Amino acid sequence: MDVVLRSLVIFLFIWVLMRIVGRRELSSMEPFDLIIIIVIGDLVQQAATQQDMSVTGAVLSAGTIGLMTVAFSWLSWRFPRLRPTLDGKPIVVVEDGKPLRDNMRRERITIEELAAQARLKGIESLDSVKWAVLETGGQVSFITK
């Protein structure tokens, strides 16, 4: 039972941490970001199982985190009012070709990152973008004029 409670607390901590850290697609992560994720994974494993190196401890820990993931997904689906809290909200970062600096600053996105995402979608300039939306999964959707 101790492993389950530690795993529950760690899941909630990681969920809060990821909400604070912000949205990033795995493909747009820097090498350092990926290393940090791997280190966090190792630290979480040690905290969840402590000295319990048994298969049972690993199954309980992984099962708890898996069940919490499913529970959060179900809560988001079942109760739409919770969705912005659990999943986040899409954020408009460009409107009528003009970057919305406050939204970009809040999400820690630079104009260079936004322009690079636009180029990857075949958009030459942000001036030709009607809307650019940072989706809850970290990708940017572009709607051209």
Q: Is 128 left (phi over 0), alpha (psi -120 to 50) or beta?
A: alpha
Q: Which of 124, 122, 133, 141 is nearest to 99 (CA)?
A: 133
**Average pLDDT, 10 consecutive residues per value, the chain (145 residues):** 84 82 63 76 76 77 87 93 89 95 90 92 93 89 92
Query: What is the per-residue pLDDT for 32?
Result: 74
- Residue environment code for 38-57, b if the CB has 16+ CB neighbours within 10 A, otherwise e: eeeeeebeeebbeeeeeeeb
pTM over 0.85: no
Asked if 93 contacts 99 with a C-beta cutoff of 8 angstroms, the reply is yes
Query: What is the per-residue pLDDT for 97?
Result: 93
